[in-house]
Amino acid sequence: MRMFIILLFVFISVSSFAARPFATYYFEGVANNLVGTSASHTFTTGIKSKTTDYYIFTKYEWADTNGKNLPFSYTLDGNSIGAGVRVWMWKNTAFIGTSYSSITSGKNKNKPDFRIGGAVYRSWEKPGSFDDWYAELFYVQRADNTLATSRWRDGVIITQTRDGKLWSYYVTQISASAVGKNAAENRIESGGGIGYTFDKNRVSANLELRSGYIFAGKVTKHLYLNPQFVISGSF
């Protein structure tokens, strides 16, 4: 990690003459029938040089699926600190990047977490309707696996204000992994949802009723219902 941070700050020094600082905070809480409950929050700060971000971050993650009669179980609780670089494209709707962090607490303490990959988010809003698409592909060292996710939502705006909107939508999500052992990472889900965004669309709360099919991994059943509630925000 030391060499990664040294190289990162070399790039920062070279690009600093055309850079501007930035800071972001993201949080997420999830409760669903399949994988239990989880939460995370991340603070990121760095500099932006044209289309490239050089940054450091601190992240806390928590998850608990034990004691819920689930087809698999795991626990996660820990902080991590790290650094990364990402390059934006398609008018800042997609990026490719890499990061390296060290887990500072929890049962995975002192383990490294190198990641490389990319993500894309696109949205389309018309009078009375809203669609969006999110996809990501990353190699995650902590899991020693390559993970991919794609989610499409097609919705109707029920009511809209300057600060947010209430909308209903149809959602389809596919998750897949290269290893294919963890059922949570190899499934396809579809269903309906209702969501509310506020604080100028920076915070959202979504309630969804999904059904799904697990296509890889050891489970007792492949078909399932997966109602879930998600609250997330970015500042």
Q: What is the pLDDT of residues 83-141, one digit of tens each?
A: 999 999 999 999 999 999 998 988 778 888 999 999 999 999 999 999 999 999 999 99
**pLDDT(10) > 70:** no
Residue 42 in tokens:
């991340």
pTM of the predicted model, to two decimals?
A: 0.86
User: Average of pLDDT values for 189-199?
Assistant: 96
The position carrying tokens 């389809």 is 172
Supply the pLDDT for residue 99.
96
Given this model, what pLDDT does residue 9 score? 59
Q: HSE (CB half, 13 Å, CA atoms) of 200?
A: 2
178 versus 6: the higher-pLDDT residue is 178
> Which amino acid makes up residue 111?
K
Residue 16: pLDDT band with limits 50, 70, 90:
low
At 1 the three-state DSSP class reads coil
Mean pLDDT, residues 4-21 taken together: 60
Tell me the per-residue pLDDT of 65-99, one tens digit each, with 9 for 90 and over: 765 555 555 667 889 999 999 999 999 999 999 99
The CA distances from residue 156 to 37, 125, 151, in Å, are 28, 10, 17
Reference 35, options 11, 10, 62, 58; nearest CA is 62
pLDDT given at position 142: 84
Quickly state the pLDDT bin for 46 (edges 50, 70, 90): very high
The yes/no answer on whether domain 2-234 falls in CATH 1.10.3470 is no
What pLDDT band is residue 63 in, cutting at 50, 70 and 90? confident
Q: Are 212 and 18 in contact (CB under 8 A)?
A: no
First and final C-alpha spacing in the chain: 28
Tokens of 125: 């809003």
